[in-house]
A and B are shown apart, each in its own frame.
Chain A
Amino acid sequence: MSRLGASAFALAALAAVLPAAGPAYFLHLLIQILIWASVYTAWALMGRFGFVSFGHGAFVGVGAYVPALLWNYFGLTPWVGIPAGIALAILVAVVIGYPCFRLRVVGHYFALVTLALSQVVLLTLVAAREITGGSLGFTPKAAGHSWYALQFPEKTYFYVIALMLWLLALSVWRWIDGGINREALEAISEDEDAAAAIGIDVLREKLRITVLSAALTALGGAIYGQYMMYLNPESVSGIAVSLQIVFAAIAGGVYSLLGPTVGALLTISLTEGLRVWFGVTFIGAANTIYGALLVLCIIFMPQGIVGTLRRAMAARAPKAAAAD
């Protein structure tokens, strides 16, 4: 599918889901979907090769908090702050990833180490409450409409930024798909020993994809922070965010380019839809249904939505051919 077709598809689907919503709200939703779709795609860069990280919440958190803190305390522009956040995220990814890959921490163990990482970032943000505001959250100083502060009261600016972010994420995916690294990574995900035996530098390949994934995730976190103008440790880091990323990506399907985007589209419009439907009287109802759907989805559609659809279409195609 072409990129143009892809975005058209996303827009059309959204328009179908929320026909009655007002334009501002619609745009707000679209921006969120695009930002999270980028983060989920970034996660799936690793996830599709079986490197399942439960620690991406950490990278979102670092990416979001670093530029905001630098802005408030040192007046440093996010144009520098965001790269600084990304650099820190890369550092964290290497510090955790290098020994993990070196010492062959895989499977459950990798999932749990990365889970611990998300908690470390969350709890550090909470513990440093004098600087970060702790669980009360953190609000970057407002600067009105400013390119220097990367703050725009008009949503259309962030819509374009989010769209560019999303296209960047898709291009990174495409780039890996087309490159020779993809075969190396596939070989590693099949069998690390065999891959090493045929001369693949397992450590370097894994580290490279992890760094790429972490950097893109941190960028997503940064844009999210700039857009929301409010950060809370619980909503940008920790287990909850990590799980949300893993779920949505897997629900959409990690083996296809648009899978994670479909995951974002569905999970965000579902939570929003349920929230609007139930209102505030039944707090928790939306997430209850969401949780139940997640479980059902994983039991009945382990390939994700896109994977399942594709398989269903593939199953129908030969029949149609036979009928001719």
Chain B
Amino acid sequence: MDIFLVEAIINGILLGGVLALLALGLNLIFGVIDVVWIAYADIVMCGMYVIYVLYTHYDVPLLFACLAGIAGMAAFGVAVHLLIIAPVLNSAPINQLLATGGLLFFLQSFATLLFGTDFRNIGVRLPVVEVASIYISFARLIAFLFGLIGAVALYLFLKRTYIGTAIRAVAQDRDIVGLMGIDQRRIYLATSAIGGALAGLAACLLVLQYDVHPFIGNTFGPVIFMICVLGGLGNMIGGFVASFIISQIIAIGGYYSNTELSYVLAFTMFIILMFVRPRGLFAR
């Protein structure tokens, strides 16, 4: 087999790790709060800027800058819920989509105001690893590993803790959780914080590979939605699997043609799959 094709496939798998992380975050929020955060990818963008500023302007060590990025985005998730989601929780779903869509617009413009439209880079260049004459970027490897670690941590949290179990319970029957002594609003806040933290973690992993600019969310935001819908909105495992399918389509498509066309291919397959399996690939 063509060595470059193998490389493309491997890169696809590595990309899938980060996409999976974001799909998990978005699915969690949708499953529990029943709201789609259109601006989710833009929260990642904010996280990337936080890390960029701390690391390049304030000389904070990269590890701490990353931790601050995660914590900051968790707090940001809570703020988004309190300021934007909570007021429209009982409105029509379309208004909820639009409120977070307005946030998308706001965040992109605000980032432009603060940083301009330049592409910025933290200037950390990680080595490239060579295995059997296949070149793999170390940054992507790290991203993949931490993506998986994040997913496993989330799984354990949801499975092993009281709050985690309560979060899953809310996703299954939100009307009666009060009878269990669960305060729905606090579960929503916890969920938003986790969703934000996952976006923050993704920001740490992406900032090592890509330049930051205000509109970076537009490049992978739609892809994440696609993944979530393919996996079945709210279905965490489905989203996880779909991440790797979509990332392969993008990687292999990109290998045979160019990046834009590989995305066109991915979106078109998505539309077709929506017709064939309207409730997601893994709907029961």
Q: Are B95 and A295 in contact (CB under 8 A)?
A: no
A189 to B264, CA, bound (A): 31
Q: Are B101 and A243 in contact (CB under 8 A)?
A: yes
A107 to B271, CA, bound (A): 15
Report the stretch among B17-25, B50-58, B109-117, B193-201 that lies at the interface. Answer: B109-117
What are the interface flags for A239-257 relative to B under an 8 Å C-beta threshold, 1 for contact and 0 otherwise? 1100100110010000000
Which residues of B208-227 are within 8 A (CB) of A? 214, 218, 221-222, 225-226
B91 contacts partner chain A, Cβ-Cβ < 8 Å: yes
Which residues of A121-162 are within 8 A (CB) of B? 123-124, 126-127
- Least CB distance from B278 to A in Å reads 5
Which residues of A63-110 are within 8 A (CB) of B? 96, 99-100, 103-105, 107-109
Q: B98: nearest residue on chain A (CB-CB)?
A: A298
- B109 — which chain A residues lie within 8 A by C-beta? 284-288, 290-291
A316 to B110, CA, bound (A): 39
Q: Are B271 and A109 in contact (CB under 8 A)?
A: no
Q: B107: nearest residue on chain A (CB-CB)?
A: A291
Q: Are A288 and B260 in contact (CB under 8 A)?
A: no
- Least CB distance from A166 to B in Å reads 24
Q: Are A113 and B274 in contact (CB under 8 A)?
A: yes
Q: Are B261 and A127 in contact (CB under 8 A)?
A: yes
Please, how many residues of chain B have a CB less than 8 angstroms from a CB on the other chain?
A: 48
A115 to B264, CA, bound (A): 12
- A109 — which chain B residues lie within 8 A by C-beta? 229, 233, 274, 278
B106 contacts partner chain A, Cβ-Cβ < 8 Å: yes
A223 contacts partner chain B, Cβ-Cβ < 8 Å: no
- Least CB distance from B171 to A in Å reads 16
A119 contacts partner chain B, Cβ-Cβ < 8 Å: yes
Q: Are A239 and B218 in contact (CB under 8 A)?
A: yes
- Least CB distance from B25 to A in Å reads 17
- A238 — which chain B residues lie within 8 A by C-beta? 218
B263 contacts partner chain A, Cβ-Cβ < 8 Å: yes
B123 contacts partner chain A, Cβ-Cβ < 8 Å: no
Contact sample, A vs B, 23 pairs, CB 8 Å cutoff: A103-B278, A105-B278, A108-B229, A111-B94, A113-B274, A116-B226, A124-B260, A124-B264, A127-B258, A239-B221, A239-B222, A240-B218, A250-B98, A285-B113, A287-B112, A288-B106, A291-B105, A295-B84, A298-B88, A298-B99, A299-B84, A299-B88, A302-B88
Chain A contact residues, CB within 8 Å of chain B: 50, 52, 96, 99-100, 103-105, 107-109, 111-113, 115-117, 119-120, 123-124, 126-127, 238-240, 243, 246-247, 250, 282-288, 290-292, 294-295, 297-299, 302
